[in-house]
Structure 1
Amino acid sequence: MSMIGEYARLTSAELDRAIHDPDWAREFVDEVIEAELDSRPKVSDARCHDVDKAWHALDFLLRRINFPVDIVHGEEEIPGAEDWGYGPPRFLSPERVRVAAETLAATPHEALVEGVRPAELAEAEIYPTVVWERGESLDYVTSHYQALVPFFRAAADAGDAMLIWLD
């Protein structure tokens, strides 16, 4: 089974409801994901997004450059939330989404991987390790990073919060 990094944009009212009723949040997010599977919106129009298996490499690379927001795992817990795959979801407040969006826009994808070789990710046991052991390009990671830029920008512009989890 794969571990996929997942995101869902929530309005402030939806975040408040999710915090008080995490079961509602799971149902709501599942419905949005299902609807978007059919409509396939642009990243900037989507309410949900995933970074596939690039989440762990993104975390490693973002920590390396001291990214100010944990956009891979979220920063705050949803109290009482059940496991959504590999743990309960966490969230970023609208303010933290704005900081993340501004920093993403100011940080080109080249800066994320500057001086980094796949072997370093393999040594650090970054999931999926086999990819880095084969010496595959970091383009996979940077393409997912680049997609996060408009996703977070749209969320910040709308004043949205972000739910984040591994599925």
Structure 2
Amino acid sequence: MSMIGAYFRVTAAGLARALDDPDGALAHIEEVLEAEAEADPPPARARHFSTYKSWHLLDFLLKRSGFPVDVVHGEAPLGESGDWGYGPPHHLAPDRVRRAAEALEALTYDRLLDGVDPAELVVAEVYPSSWNDREALEWGRYWFDGLRLYFRAAARDGDAVILWVH
């Protein structure tokens, strides 16, 4: 079974409802995921986004760079929610989404990779554990670029983001 990083944009009112009823939020998210799977909108128009298996690589690189917002795990729990896969979901409020979008815009993937030795990822046991050479690190570029677009759109619309690994 794979571990997949997941994101879902909600309005401030939608976040308030999700905080009050995380199980209802999950049911709603699952409905939207099914509908979006058929349409496959680009990250800038999607309510749902996935960093696929790159979530741990991105987490490692962003933390290593001193990134100011936890855009992989979120910063606050989603109410009294249960396990949505590999732990409970978290969220970023609209102001933190805006801060994350600004910081992502100022960052390039090349700068994230600057000075990274693949052996660091092996020692840190970064999932999915295939860091045998520098070229392997390029795999995360696609997902990082999508994450930038996704957060830019969420910030533009004043949205919050719910995050989880499943």
| Shorter-chain TM band | over 0.9
Match of 1:33 in 2: 33
Aligned length: 166
TM-aligned CA deviation for residue 136 of structure 1: 4.8
Alpha-carbon distance between aligned partners in 2 of 1:26 and 1:140, rounded to the nearest angstrom: 29
Q: Which amino acid aligns with 1:35?
A: A
How big is each residue's C-alpha offset from its partner over 1:93-152, in whole Å with a ceiling of 9 and x where there is no partner? Answer: 0000000000000001111111113222112111111x1146652111122111111100
1:136-155 alignment, distance < 5 Å: 136-155=135-154
**Shift >3 Å, 4+ stretches:** 133-136
8 Å CA contact retained: 1:97, 1:152: yes
1:16-165 alignment, distance < 5 Å: 16-129=16-129, 131-133=130-132, 136-165=135-164
Normalising by the residue count of structure 2, what TM-score does the alignment of the two structures yield? 0.96
Normalising by the residue count of structure 1, what TM-score does the alignment of the two structures yield? 0.96
Alpha-carbon distance between aligned partners in 2 of 1:114 and 1:63, rounded to the nearest angstrom: 13
Same amino acid, percent of matched pairs: 49
Q: Which amino acid aligns with 2:39?
A: S
Q: Which amino acid aligns with 2:77?
A: E
Alpha-carbon distance between aligned partners in 2 of 1:44 and 1:93, rounded to the nearest angstrom: 18
RMSD of equivalent CA atoms? 1.1
In structure 1, runs of 5+ residues without a counterpart are: none
Alpha-carbon distance between aligned partners in 1 of 2:155 and 2:78, rounded to the nearest angstrom: 20
